[in-house]
Structure 1
Amino acid sequence: MKGLNWRFLLITAGVLGLLAGLLPVFLGDQYLFTTLPIAMMFSSFFIVPRIKDKKLPSAVFVTLLTAVISLVVFFIYQFATLDPAIAKANLKTAMVNLPITVLIISLAGSWVFVKTNEWTEKKRKEVEAKMAAKNGDKGKDKDKGNGKTSAATKLREARGQKTYVPHATKKRYRNTKKKK
């Protein structure tokens, strides 16, 4: 996995893990079971489009790291502020309930994001190829002689619109005011 951008992966997992671990501190302890899966899905959502190769392992790694960081942050807070017996009970409950959730979200969620991203990239390439074939014969007359097509022209062509050409109106203006 030497081609990965480790800094980006670690920063994304760290920031989202901290947010998912600290939000239940302010909102209430029961929100850990909500913020953790949301943060894991967002970490996969942020990583998949920006990584060029090894998308699935990167997404799984980031979602698992996000979960670990958020659990560590949350339980550090729990043990620092609550009675140790209550904190241990909360930790045991989380360790029983969360592993399956974390595993399902990290594997299934990452797979869904990777497949969706691959599908959109494939469709984008098809549309670009179709546009290039369509504009291959028309591109020369719209570049104003400098070899470049403006962004507005490309957008109009992508939408299938014609270029705006101002024409004089047939109706002539007549002054209807009466002269004194």
Structure 2
Amino acid sequence: MKGMNWRFLLITSGVLGLLSGLLPVFLGDEYLFTTLPIAMMFSSFFIVPRVKERKLPSAIFVTLLTAVIAIVVFFIYQFATRDTALATANLKTALTNLPLTVLIISLAGSFVFVKTNEWTEKKRAQFEAKAQAKAAEKGKGKSQNDSKGKLRSFRGQKTYVPHATKKRYRNTKKKK
């Protein structure tokens, strides 16, 4: 899989997997079913805009790896601190309830984030092209040096007047 930034993918999924696996330890066992989907969505949210190529496979990989890390961390804690029978029952419950959730979030969530990101990038490119065309048309003879003036002209706003009045300024100096 050429073009994937493996280090970034592994660090993101590792950190979010650890967080979502350790949070239920402090909040309560039932919160695994809440923290896991949230961490998976955040992992996809963090990865998709930063990866340039192969966005969908990267997002799916990271969400699945986040889920695996979270489940492993949580059940290592369960088997280390709880009774083996209780930990085994919790593991069986998680293995029957979580795979479908993980699969849906991994595939559908990643797909939604990738398509949203592509749409956003396309709209941003169109907006920037329109702004450049407008600036090129407007600024052929003028040069705008200050960034605030550029921003105002880009937005189509008038320049700021600190104390606008209805009276118009009239030059009182005599012409020579």
From the superposition, tell whether residues 33 and 18 of structure 1 become closer, same or farther in structure 2 (CA, over 3 Å): same
Partner of 1:64: 64
Between 102-111 and 124-133, report the one with greater CA deviation.
Answer: 124-133
CA deviation after TM superposition for structure 1 residue 65, in Å: 0.4
Aligned counterparts of 1:166 and 1:102: Cα–Cα separation in 2: 56
CA deviation after TM superposition for structure 1 residue 7, in Å: 1.0
Give the residue type in structure 2 aligned to 1:94. Answer: A
Q: Are residue 108 (structure 1) and residue 108 (structure 2) matched?
A: yes
CA deviation after TM superposition for structure 1 residue 150, in Å: 3.6
Partner of 2:27: 27
From the superposition, tell whether residues 135 and 23 of structure 1 become closer, same or farther in structure 2 (CA, over 3 Å): same
**How far does the alpha carbon of each residue in 1:26-68 deviate from its partner, in whole angstroms, 9 at most, with x for none?**
0000000000000000000000011111000000000000000
Aligned counterparts of 1:29 and 1:110: Cα–Cα separation in 2: 26
Q: What pairs up with 1:18-97 in 2 under 5 angstroms?
A: 18-97=18-97
**Pick aligned residue for 2:149 from 124, 149, 153:** 153
Aligned counterparts of 2:105 and 2:17: Cα–Cα separation in 1: 15
**How far does the alpha carbon of each residue in 1:117-164 deviate from its partner, in whole angstroms, 9 at most, with x for none?**
0001111111111111111122244425xxxx5432332123111334
Aligned counterparts of 2:33 and 2:130: Cα–Cα separation in 1: 46
What TM-score does the superposition give when structure 2 sets the normalisation length? 0.88
**How far does the alpha carbon of each residue in 1:79-100 deviate from its partner, in whole angstroms, 9 at most, with x for none?**
0000011101110110111000
In the alignment of these two chains, the number of paired residues is 168
Aligned counterparts of 1:141 and 1:47: Cα–Cα separation in 2: 43
Aligned counterparts of 1:154 and 1:11: Cα–Cα separation in 2: 40
Percentage of identical aligned residues: 78
Partner of 2:158: 162
Partner of 1:174: none
Between 89-98 and 149-158, report the one with greater CA deviation.
Answer: 149-158
What residue ranges of structure 1 are gaps of 5+ in the alignment? 172-180
What TM-score does the superposition give when structure 1 sets the normalisation length? 0.86
